[in-house]
Structure 1
């Protein structure tokens, strides 16, 4: 995509806003826009993207000033993937030592779970993320250098870990002597090979070897896929995460667990007091005059 619109809805928190600014920084082909005024009609982002001649859109949606969602869409026809954004750590917060050239083109690295044998929705997510985060060759705001990696790792629980690294060329050359896949990356970074495509797959062993040559820049965050739509910000549902539980349900369950715990504690405390009272009554001395008036008869003097 030549241009990608990056914007948010109103009510976004500081952490989400800083993450959005970080993505704009590492995406030289991004376009910025003011916050979307409405939360009910997110499809109005298609009109904003059309005004900026953008083919893709990253829309951060804030809910209750606590929950952050990310809509990744190919405008105006779709598809669209809705994620829940978790474990956000921005570049300013991390203060890492990694430092790449501003405007350089990244290499997108996907682990082996994104290969051809993956599920259809995983392949669709990979294709959409590749189109959005790939910097077009010869873009006017990009630099003709490759010195960073944007890594996407798919975990067994369905989450996507996103990490951003700087490439250390000398260390990469040392690792490329024993890893063919890493050797191809070394040729891309050093300019020995044409950079026609910026997407590659690495095995777990190659990922470990590549990690030894990288210095993290940030930001880092986790994406949990919720639903895939056929259209742009709506339309027919192509896939839905059956294991997804919304933050509202998690908070409600936590409140219920807290209420049950408080009630159990009160019941235990009441039962303990009753047991202590019964024990105290059982240990009282016998009253010899307790049965004096039980017969109801008064003996004459």
Structure 2
């Protein structure tokens, strides 16, 4: 038979349980950078709302049908540089493009969109849009060089976070400020994304020259200390010529229109006129010569008449 429990044993068990609960401290949260102290979480919270801001930016990347292989390789290079993006199948570029793309962005739970639109198998247009309320910017892409074309020596870690570098003239005009903000939100990779590694080993540079935005990607190489840090280009390269800024997503009221923009169709027409100019001049000269011969007929030759008589 078991022994009877004494009257004071129950209280002692309760006291021991309380002591264990007091001694058990809540385990801190573990992150990729190490153990996170609970006090740090409290400091990061906003005083008014009491919630931590978390960047949940997701970008949908898609293209139009009949896109060329070179522009498709550029799109895949950009997808590899943005681990927080979602790739979508090709979309038919027509008048209802804005409605269909906005629906896709909403279905894929994204807040931004990169859309590559190819026309006439020659011209590439890039849309940077915030969905569903806008704004959006339309660019003409020039001087495209993919990673496979250049074969540069740089090589950074895939999925790492980049440092965004903008030239100082982005702050000189409101239109450049708006483009800078859109580029920052799309190309700035969130810190706590599941596919992102907590390293900064490359830099995205956006510089303005000749009213164009030039993009370069550099790897940060540190050999022998921070003082000997160098930059090695990785790629890709491309140039963005702004066409219009719209208030909505893929349309809406025009906030800005580039007065210096010339469409590629007009450039090709001018080049064609230059090439066919010599031929047209020959035709005009020949027509003038015929008119002159009719106006000034040549009189008969005496020697020719003598030969005919014989």
What TM-score range do you get, normalising by the shorter chain?
0.7 to 0.9
Match of 2:111 among 55, 59, 73: 55
Structure 1 residue 127 corresponds to structure 2 residue 144 = no
How far apart are the structure 2 equivalents of 1:246 and 1:110?
A: 27
Task: State the match for 1:27 in structure 2.
Answer: 82
Task: State the match for 2:137 in structure 1.
Answer: 81
Match of 1:10 among 65, 68, 81: 65
Q: Which has the larger radius of gyration?
A: 2
Does the 8 Å contact 1:79/1:232 carry over to 2?
yes
| Equivalences, count | 246
Match runs of 1:147-162 below 5 Å: 147-155=201-209, 157-162=210-215
- Displacement of 1:264: 2.3
- Relative distance call for 1:244 and 1:96 in structure 2 (3 A) is same
Could you tell me which runs of 5 or more consecutive residues in structure 2 were left unpaired when the two chains were aligned. Answer: 1-55, 290-297
Match of 1:109 among 165, 169, 193: 165
- Output the aligned Cα RMSD: 2.7
Partner SS, residue 169 of structure 2: helix
Which structure ranks higher in relative contact order (CA pairs < 8 Å, sequence separation ≥ 6)?
Answer: 1
Could you tell me which runs of 5 or more consecutive residues in structure 1 were left unpaired when the two chains were aligned. Answer: 176-185, 187-212, 273-280, 294-301
Does the 8 Å contact 1:9/1:39 carry over to 2?
no
- Relative distance call for 1:45 and 1:172 in structure 2 (3 A) is farther
How far apart are the structure 1 equivalents of 2:285 and 2:167?
A: 52
Deviating 4+ runs (over 3 angstroms):
265-272, 285-290
Match of 2:191 among 126, 137, 147: 137
Does the 8 Å contact 1:2/1:139 carry over to 2?
no
TM-score normalised over the length of structure 1: 0.75
Residue deviations 1:22-63 (CA, integer Å, cap 9, x gap): 000000001001011342222111110111111100000111
Match of 1:224 among 223, 226, 241: 241
Match of 1:249 among 257, 266, 286: 266
TM-score normalised over the length of structure 2: 0.73
How far apart are the structure 2 equivalents of 1:49 and 1:70?
A: 16
Does the 8 Å contact 2:57/2:185 carry over to 1?
no
- Displacement of 1:260: 1.9
